[in-house]
Amino acid sequence: MLKSLFLNHLEQNQAWDKYYRVWMSRVNYDVNHKHFHRAFTQILRLTDDIRKRHQEQYLYIPNMCLGLFYSSRNQPEMAETYFRRALKGVDANKEPVSVFNCYLSLALSLSFKHPAEAMACLDSLPKQMLENPMYDSGVLGYRCIIASQQGDRQAFDRYFARYDSIRQHNPAGFNPANLQQVMVCHYLLRNDYKQALAWCDSAAVPQLANQLRLEVFQTTGNWQQAFREIQLKDSMEQADEREVLEEHLMDVTHDIDLLQAEQEKAELRRKQLMSAGLMAATIIALLIAVLIYRYFKNLKLKEQFQELQEARRRAEAGQAIRRAFVTTIFEKLKSPISSLLNYARIFNDPEFKLKPEERSKRYRDIVAAAKNIESLMDPVLDSYSRGDLGITDEEKRVCQDALRSPLQTLIGTAEVIIDADGQLPHDEYMQLRSAICRDAYDVATSTRKLILFSLYGDAYPIPMNYEIGLNEMARTTLNSYDQHFKTQPKNIEFVTDVADDVKITTNMLLQELINCLLDNVVKYATGDTLQLSCHTLTDGSYAIAVSNEGPTIPASDAEHIFVPFVRLSPNEHTLGVGLPLARCLATSMGYTLTLDTTYTQGARFVVRLK
């Protein structure tokens, strides 16, 4: 665990030299403890890692590991091959220690069958490394063993003298790795077999002790003991092989388990991929179905859009025809409407005196104007059924009731005065004239509102090409307002917090809009306070408000009152287009008209200018 953490630390710091040497030490540990399968797997991983990281200068390390692997498996020829590969790949100038280890390991592999070549390898060792007594004594030990195998007593004595000198005089710098083998060779050459066997028994590794005793008994000709040592050697080798095979079997079993686990994971992933693929195919099929559905739906919508466009074109054409028709009627009605308004204003003046012989002509003019209006009302109402408004028969009846009653009263009263031919008493005549005055005004204004509603009730945009001061427009509208004809004349107060130099670009129909609102608040006022006001709003825009003191309109009827031909009370006989006309005119000019439901003293209408 600690070594793995250390490897991770070296990898993060990219210390590749130390990283691969630590990995090599792990392989050597497995080889020395005969974990050959694990060691071989580690060597393959080490080689792949070096190539993956493009660190080919360290490929000599896995070659050295393979040499040690085959050397421990008693395959010196294979070990020799990989040690030579390692020597070709290592840089002698940068890695003298690695070169030293390669030559030393190669010499060990060659010593079994080619002792002369093994001695030549030892002669090729870097000289600077031999200056260290630890390395020098180790090499001298190998030289002694190889010289003994060659039977070169003179060379052996020369190497042994130096070897034993280091052992005697510099024990701290002495390398005891091959001490037992060297001493056994030394005493065999001196024919001191007892000491040779004693050194054999001092070996801590049973296999080494067995091998040394076998050599002693073979040298002395004690074949019975040699045979026993051979049997013991075979027994130990078989035990080692069995242990290696068991461990190898465990490793293979572990690998098989891992492969089975990977296979199960692969099968699970395959099933997951199949499920995902099936889901993807289903989703794609659904998407294709949705696209096909949307395609045909879009085709249908396109057809419907074209039909709507055609219907709109026909409707606009019909609306244009209706507008032209109503405009023509309006032009014809302007004269009788003006005539009735003028007579109403004149007759409303108590100082105006009309000679008895002139009455017949004047009142015949009033009758003619009233009959002219009456004759053109039905075409105007019929035009609604062909326009966007599309009134019902009941709404048409409401209009006829609101217009015909004052018209017939006006005509009847005027005919009474005409038939009297100036013979009516003055008081009775003045009462009839006052009634004619009110009826003429009501007929004229109601007819005008109905015509305007017919023209602008569809709330189509109208041009804004008239510039005027906001306060000036409000004062002009208030000054021209005919409240003298109302049943309860009131004084209307004008209040403003807008500067007089503020101008707006609007349409002259804004005055008609305000007149409609004034008609409503005057009609339903019960108190004396009526107000027309102009205000600056917090966002910098402006508003016009008209209010009275009287009954409040419930919040539930705040929008209902703007519906055409609606009467909130069954006792009313009004036309019911005043507030709807005001709303349509406001919309056509881009304004908003609402009932202020927070105002509780009466009714308050607010026109918010854009």
**Three state DSSP letters for 154-206:** HHHHHHHHHHHHHHHHCHHHCCCCCHHHHHHHHHHHCCCHHHHHHHHHCCCCH
Which two three-digit tokens encode residue 34? 């005969």
- What pLDDT digit, counting tens, does each position of 249-300 carry? 776 777 787 788 888 888 888 888 988 888 999 999 999 999 999 898 898 8
- Name the token pair of 316: 């606009």
pLDDT tens for residues 362-419?
A: 878 888 888 888 777 777 666 655 444 556 666 667 666 667 777 788 788 878 878 8
Does 487 have pLDDT greater than 50?
Answer: no
Concatenated DSSP letters of 282-318: HHHHHHHHHHHHHHHHHHHHHHHHHHHHHHHHHHHHH
CATH topology of domain 320-456: Four Helix Bundle (Hemerythrin (Met), subunit A) (1.20.120)
Domain boundaries, the chain: 1-31+40-118, 320-456, 466-608
What percent of the chain shows pLDDT beyond 70?
Answer: 89
Q: Of 211, 186, 266, 250, give the one whose Cα is nearest residue 35.
A: 250
User: Considering only 440-454, 491-505, 511-525, 545-559, which range has the smallest mean pLDDT?
Assistant: 440-454
Question: Does the pTM exceed 0.75?
Answer: no
Confidence of residue 571 (pLDDT cuts 50, 70, 90): low
Architecture in CATH for domain 466-608? 2-Layer Sandwich (3.30)
Q: Are 579 and 524 in contact (CB under 8 A)?
A: no
Phi, psi dihedral angles at 347 (to 5 degrees) = -70, -20
